[in-house]
Amino acid sequence: MWYSLSQQPINQPTQTPMPDWRLYVITDPRYGHGDALRDRVAAAIRGGATIVQLRDKTATTRALIEQARALLTITRAAGVPLIINDRVDVALAVGADGVHLGVDDMPIADARRLLGPHAIIGGSPETPEDALRMQREGATYLGVGDVFGTPTKPDAGAPIGIAGLQRIIALVDIPVIGIGGITPANAADVIRAGASGIAVVSAVMGAEDPAAAAQTLRHIIDRTRSEVEA
């Protein structure tokens, strides 16, 4: 479709302010599909989730597009960005707010060229060199971990710990989100380390009451930020 230079392509996100990174919730197919997934995401947002990532490495492309479109109706109504894990094509197809890419996925520079200057593009570095490269290529933020051990990625390497997280935070100039094994018991430590927010999977999506779980984490995050900034 043709459009003038003053128009946005239909499937590109419009320019938005920098996201609120505080509570980044990531979906997992173990915790439901279809209506169950939508209900859990809606509950997480009610509880205080500020950004949502659709992550499903087992779904077909068609199913992933359907899931993304369904979640977009919820996230857009709440003013919460929706990020697609790995799949730049799916993000383009549905007009999602951005993508999250690992070191073996599409290079961030290529994703930036395809998605445009206003898309939210996150990266998961495995080394400090990865972090610097991703920043240089145009990443909006980095998801860094695993900070603690996590059952979500049983094949992951040894946790980097708070010290490893702090090394990346000190190295880059873009927001860093701590991820991996974060719970109400250790969330404050991640914020005190200088992270812009925490990313969780099972702590919210796997909770019996996702809204209450998100609310608990938001309370910890907000209280700790207030203490740090005082």
Answer yes or no: is pLDDT of 10 > 80. Answer: no
| DSSP one-letter string for the chain | ----TTSPPTTSPPP-PPP--SEEEE--GGG--HHHHHHHHHHHHHHT--EEEE--SSS-HHHHHHHHHHHHHHHHHHT--EEEES-HHHHHHHT-SEEEEETTSS-HHHHHHHH-TTSEEEEE-SSHHHHHHHHHHT-SEEEE--SS--SS-TT--S--HHHHHHHHHHH-SS-EEEESS--TTTHHHHHHTT-SEEEESHHHHTSSSHHHHHHHHHHHHHHHHHHHH-
- Say whether 226 is catalytic: no
Known binding-site residues for Mg(2+) equal 86, 105
* pTM for the whole structure: 0.91
What is the radius of gyration, based on Cα positions, of the chain?
Answer: 17
Q: How far apart are CA 101 and CA 81, in angstroms?
A: 16
Task: Locate 113 and state its tokens.
Answer: 């060229």
For residue range 39-92, what is the model confidence (pLDDT) as tens digits?
999 999 999 999 999 999 999 999 999 999 999 999 999 999 999 999 999 999
Q: How far apart are CA 35 and CA 39, in angstroms?
A: 6
Q: Which residue has the higher pLDDT, 5 or 13?
A: 13
pLDDT of residue 149: 86
Residues 6 or more apart in contact with residue 31 via CB below 8 angstroms: 37, 40, 202, 205, 206
The percentage of residues in the chain with a pLDDT greater than 90, rounded to a whole number, is 87
Q: Name the band, by pLDDT with cuts 50, 70 and 90, for residue 7.
A: very low
| Active-site residue identified among 22, 40, 87, 124 | 124
pLDDT of residue 153: 61
- Say whether 55 is catalytic: yes
pLDDT of residue 21: 98
Mean pLDDT of the chain: 92
For residue range 142-182, what is the model confidence (pLDDT) as tens digits?
999 999 987 766 666 799 999 999 999 999 999 999 999 99
Known binding-site residues equal 53-57, 85-86, 105, 124, 150-153, 181, 201-202
Please name each of the domains of the chain with its CATH number: 23-229 (3.20.20.70)
| Active-site residue identified among 22, 55, 112, 218 | 55
pLDDT of residue 4: 29
- Say whether 124 is catalytic: yes
User: Mean of the pLDDT values across residues 96-124?
Assistant: 98
Residue at token pair 């925490």: 198
Answer yes or no: is pLDDT of 222 > 90. Answer: yes
Residue count of the chain, please give it: 230
